[in-house]
Each structure stands twice: as C-alpha cells, then as structure tokens.
Amino acid sequence: MQNRALTPFDRVAVEAQRALETVLGSPPALRANPAAMEADVVLDEVERRHAAGLMRINHVGEVCAQALYCGQAAVARDDATRAHLLEAAQEETDHLAWCADRLRELDSRPSLLNPLWYAGSFAIGALAGLRGDGWNLGFVVETERQVEAHIDEHLASLPAGDGRSRAILEVMKADEARHADEAEAAGARVLPVPVPSLMAAASKVMKAIAYRV
C-alpha cells in the first residue's frame, strides 16, 4: 500500500487535507447522483425544512463515517484491512457529495458542527482501531448496520413528494448493507456490550443536534 512509504509527518498532512476536504469542501462523487432520474417536486415550507433536517443528519452521518474509517485506517495493522477501510471511505464520499447536492437543492446547508463531528469520529475510529483489526472490522459492521436502520426511519419519514432524497437514501442503504457484509466476511469480531448501545446513544445525540444545526 502506498501509505507504507509515507513518513509520520506525511500521514498527518494527508489526514489533515482529507479532513479539510470533507468538512469544508465538497469532495466529488465518482458515481452519478441517483436523484438525477427523479423529478424535482416543489415541497411546501414545512416539508422542505423537514427534508433538509433529515438530509443534514445523513450528511453528518457520512462525515462521521468518513472520519471513523480514516481514523481506523490510520492505525490499522494489516494492509488488507487498511485497504478495505479506505475503499469503504471512498463510497462514503459519494454519499457525502449526494447529500450535499440535495441540501443545496433544498435551499439548506450542511451542519455547522461538521469539524467537531469529524474530529470526534476520527478519534473514536483510531481508538477502536488500536484494539486490533478484528475490532476494527467489527466497528464497521456495527456502524453500517446502525446507519442502515436510521436510513430506513428517514425513508419512512421523508415527505411523500421528495423522490430525490429518497432515491439517494435507497442507494446509500444498499451500499451500507454491502459495507457491513464485506466487513463481516473479512473477519469482523462481534463487539461486546455495551459498545453497540454506546454507539447508538452517541448517534442519537448527533441526530437530535444535526436536524437543526
């Protein structure tokens, strides 16, 4: 893996650049936005604000996923695990870009707290990663399963006319399920209690805040 040749300083610089791109810029998607095939229905003000709140949560979720995987990859011991994490992070970049596009269409913006979400998730990812690669992959499985579940809630809660947000979330949901399956196949450990409940509690707080800010 290319990372091998990098000095510790290079690695910090690479991570800092990736963080800035994720938080401040709009990293480009590699795949076409699934919303493109759906009509852009005009929502009323209440619907528009609700859809924007949900898509902001999804955008924050992708910022966190990106940061978690980069934090885990930074300390992964095995090259195959690191490659797996960085590949999943690339697909999260597509999700991030699609959610950002939809937020713009809904006349809204990403969370102002994204730098905070990124830093916190990167630290959690690195801590999980330090426990070993089985844990690393177990963490991916749990994260992806929880994201899949909250996407289901959002699909049920989006305004009926918002086919564009729905199209994005459907593809994201399928990708997250595949990320979890692949991590399981790669040798993920089942995380012990209370780790999954702590993760769910943290994401509940994040969702409550990101809906508004």
Where is the binding site for Fe cation, in residues?
Answer: 62, 92, 95, 144, 176, 179
Smallest distance, Fe ion to C-beta of residue 103, A: 15
Interacting residue with Fe ion among 179, 191, 196, 210 (CB under 5 A): 179
Choose the binding region for Fe ion from 6-14, 138-146, 162-170, 191-199 (rule: CB under 5 A).
Answer: 138-146
User: Alpha carbon of 6 to those of 90, 114, 127, 136, 176: distances in Å?
Assistant: 20, 27, 21, 22, 30
By CB under 5 A, the count of residues binding Fe ion is 6
95 binds Fe ion (CB under 5 A): yes
Smallest distance, Fe ion to C-beta of residue 7, A: 30
Burial class (CB in 10 A: 0-12, 13-18, 19+), 110: buried
CA dihedral 131, 134, 137, 142 (to 10 degrees): -80
**Side-chain half-sphere CA neighbours of 153 within 13 A:** 11
Task: Mark residues 54-73: x for contact with Fe ion by CB under 5 A, - for none.
Answer: --------x-----------
What is the enclosing helix (H) or strand (E) of 198?
A: helix 195-210
Interacting residue with Fe ion among 22, 60, 92, 129 (CB under 5 A): 92
Numbered residues of the known binding site: 62, 92, 95, 144, 176, 179
Which of 18, 95 has the CB closer to Fe ion?
Answer: 95
Burial class (CB in 10 A: 0-12, 13-18, 19+), 108: middle
DSSP state string for 70-112: HHHHHH-SSHHHHHHHHHHHHHHHHHHHHHHHHHHHTT----T
Choose the binding region for Fe ion from 42-50, 77-85, 143-151, 192-200 (rule: CB under 5 A).
Answer: 143-151
101 binds Fe ion (CB under 5 A): no
Q: Which residues bind Fe ion (CB under 5 A)?
A: 62, 92, 95, 144, 176, 179
